[in-house]
Amino acid sequence: MNYKRVLLLFLLFTSFIFCKKKNSESNEQEKFIVEKNFSNQKNDSISIGTWHWRSADKTQEFTLKIKKISKDSIFGQYCAVYNNGSKMDCDFDDINNVKGVIQKNKALLEFSSFFGANNGKAELIFNKNNLKWIVTKPPHGEYYAPNNIILTKKNNFSESEKSTEIEKKEKPFQFSGSILPYDKKIDYKNIEYKTLPTKSINGISEFACGEIEIRYVSLAKTDKASLLLVPIDCGDAVYRYYLVSIFNNTVVSSLYVEGELFEPESKQDAEKTNFRIDKNSILTVRTINKNFEKNKIEEKRYLLTDFGKIIETK
């Protein structure tokens, strides 16, 4: 009797150990499957590619190119278009301005702007169909990246959205081959002008100082747009010229590009501004003695587009 009882206890104990081992193996297998599925989902969400956002009023856009993923590191470049393209925080070269470390379903990023702002921080949170961009620490300086948005991968756009994006891409102004690079100082004392009634172009009267006509020099013209150099004949400046772009008979952009300004009743040096245009339709405006501070130099770059926009860039 004792022998049978011992045998029964031994069989029950062996069965318990066997079941526990099977349960442990099952749990380990289930854990492996979950981790594998999460890993696969994470890799699908973080794939290299281009992600995009546009504001509801269509005045702002943000594009994030994820260009490289190496183990737990991520590298890329953004392009932020602000106020209908009046500010363009972008770069036309292949320069990364975003990098970070991947942690589970998000990346902790450091970023800089193409206006020289540094040490910005952001989080990029992944899910299956989009990315959430959150600026956690603004960079020191000028930048135009949005603070909290949701980005959609470009190949998820509808056909109508794709065509809209293609239409919105800015192309450089097509100058005739002989004019570029343009780097001339205006001889304001001897230059010959044409005249134009202010009523003939929407928005041109702003540069006429109350006159019914403006004087101008034609810098370039295409089938789509015209670029004029317009002198401002009122005020105390020795001379001032604005670059005025016209599209569909309307002024779409303007920028002060050349002149000399003096502080009234002051012996300070004049603030002098001039410009040049390179072969890529990039306009550079350079000012010496900016704000009448001796030897202070400011230099800004702008893209001249085929639709007449003058867009500040790096």
- 248-273: pLDDT as tens digits: 888 888 999 999 988 777 778 889 99
Residues 200 and 158 in one domain: no
73 located within any domain:
yes
Give the per-residue pLDDT at 93: 64
Residues 106 and 153 in one domain: yes
- Residue 227, H or E segment: strand 225-231
Residues 202 and 114 in one domain: no
187 located within any domain:
no
Give the per-residue pLDDT at 90: 81
Looking at 128, 150, 168, which one is the last position of a domain? 168
Which of the four pLDDT bands, split at 50, 70 and 90, describes residue 134?
very high
Residues 202 and 160 in one domain: no
43 located within any domain:
no
Q: Rounded distance, CA 251 to CA 149, Å?
A: 33
Q: Structure tokens of 119?
A: 């040490």
Looking at 126, 152, 168, which one is the last position of a domain? 168
Give the per-residue pLDDT at 8: 53
Residues 124 and 200 in one domain: no
Tell me the average pLDDT across 231-244. Answer: 88
Exposed / middle / buried, residue 212 (Cβ in 10 Å: 0-12, 13-18, 19+): exposed
Residues 148 and 62 in one domain: yes
Structural domain count of the chain: 2
Give the per-residue pLDDT at 33: 34
Cβ-based neighbour number of residue 249 at 10 Å: 11
Which of the four pLDDT bands, split at 50, 70 and 90, describes residue 4?
low
Residues 249 and 286 in one domain: yes
Residues 55 and 105 in one domain: yes
Domain that holds residue 278: 194-313
Helices (H), 194-285: none
Does the pLDDT value for residue 233 go beyond 50? yes
